[in-house]
Structure 1
Amino acid sequence: MEAKDGTTHAIRLAQQPEADALLGRSPLAALTGMLLDQQVPMEWAFSGPYTIASRMGGEDLDAHAIAAYDPEGFAALLSEKPAVHRYPGSMAKRIQQMCAFLVEHYDGDAAAVWADAGSGAELLRRLKELPGFGEQKARIFLALLGKQYGVRPRGWRTAAGAYGEAGSYRSAADITGPESLAKVREYKQAAKAAAKAEKGAKAG
């Protein structure tokens, strides 16, 4: 996130320099990437904010502008090829809902969600209030904030659950380049295989 002195964080989630630079300086881009991170590869999801910003004619995302955008027009913007997501229409709606929430409760400032959170538990609660952020997504984003953005309120690792563990490769929170991306993919594939095997055993 961009600090008051203009410094940014080196993020490697999108695996594209321009898209990662936006994630490193824009709190709203980071939230939007996390929102998009489902049912598509992580790099695709986290490159989405840069694509949206470019198609809106800017270098950053603005919660006020997105919330006020014509819904059909915003869905069309995400649907342009290459599409921002596998389900651009539904994701466009979710992004607008999240931005409208940020406008109503945080004056459009995404960083305000975590800026003064007094504890990890409070931050988790705030993240879960965001449209589109369930328990798991909120915990992953909390871990991402702590591990890569320096947002570490008291008890943040505990609030993030397993995703907050140091040295783990479970989620987007642990991706710092191609090697860690591959490790996270391996973990997810193994977890999926284990769940499938357990389901098969119960059925049998």
Structure 2
Amino acid sequence: MNAKADVTLHLAQQPEADELLSRSPLAALVGMLLDQQIPMEWAFAGPYTIAQRLGADDLDAHEIAAYDPESFATLLSTKPAVHRYPGSMAKRVQQLCQYLVEHYDGDPTALWKDATTGKELLQRLNDLPGFGKQKSQIFLALLGKQMGVRPKGWQEAAGAYGEPRSFRSVADIKDPETLAKVRAHKQEMKAAAKAAKS
């Protein structure tokens, strides 16, 4: 299952950052990893910022995996920081890249190239450092909905995130309008959770 070559993602809402996400599967994976406890656009702009600071036009799993951990943490911490918790996220990004080097020769597309079912692909995503079930399902939905990676049963494996036009996650964001819909859904969920607590 190969990703579409002409995919255009709009997750960072910044042309250069989105261009990198669209052509670099590793950038998309790293953006997904960074997408926690900070606004989505900030998270998905992160890979572009990292590439710029590395003096590269793409991210390379081998290079990041082998980078001096302290220097890499500094790279992410330099203002404006790549994340609210740049030190711990630098460690996570390196762990992700080390895992990809060890298991997939540094090629993130190898995660889905020969995955025959959505369940198998979900398991592979779940095995990635820093990817829990929810993050894995959202990334699987993003692969299926926007990147043309659709192994058998991918929608079921992605759970609610795989539902067409569900506007629950980054998988459904294609423009400012869909971004607003996803934001609204998240606010509703937060409000419902708050109400359930009280």
Q: Distance in 2 between matches of 1:45 and 1:60?
A: 16
Instruction: Determine the structure 1 residue equivalent to 2:102.
Output: 104
1:15 to 13, 16, 20: 13
Instruction: Determine the structure 2 residue equivalent to 1:85.
Output: 83
Q: Give the TM-score taking structure 1 as reference length.
A: 0.95
Q: Distance in 2 between matches of 1:25 and 1:116?
A: 20
Q: Is 2:27 the partner of 1:29?
A: yes
Q: Percent identity?
A: 73
Q: Distance in 1 between matches of 2:6 and 2:21?
A: 9
Secondary structure of 1:153's match? coil
Instruction: Determine the structure 2 residue equivalent to 1:94.
Output: 92
Instruction: Determine the structure 2 residue equivalent to 1:136.
Output: 134
Q: Distance in 2 between matches of 1:57 and 1:189?
A: 38
- Structure 1 residue 3 displacement after superposition: 6.2
The unaligned stretches of length 5 or more in structure 2 are none
Q: Distance in 1 between matches of 2:6 and 2:28?
A: 12
The unaligned stretches of length 5 or more in structure 1 are none
- Structure 1 residue 8 displacement after superposition: 3.1
Instruction: Determine the structure 2 residue equivalent to 1:162.
Output: 160
- Structure 1 residue 177 displacement after superposition: 1.0
Secondary structure of 2:158's match? helix
The Cα offsets for residues 55-108 of structure 1, whole Å up to 9 and x where unpaired, read as: 000000000000000001000000111110000000000000000000000000
Give runs of ≥4 in structure 1 deviating > 2 Å: none
The Cα offsets for residues 32-72 of structure 1, whole Å up to 9 and x where unpaired, read as: 00000000110000000000000000000000000000001
Instruction: Determine the structure 1 residue equivalent to 2:53.
Output: 55
Aligned amino acid, residue 105 of structure 1? H
Instruction: Determine the structure 1 residue equivalent to 2:39.
Output: 41
Secondary structure of 1:157's match? helix
The Cα offsets for residues 117-169 of structure 1, whole Å up to 9 and x where unpaired, read as: 00000000000000000000000000000000000000000000000000111
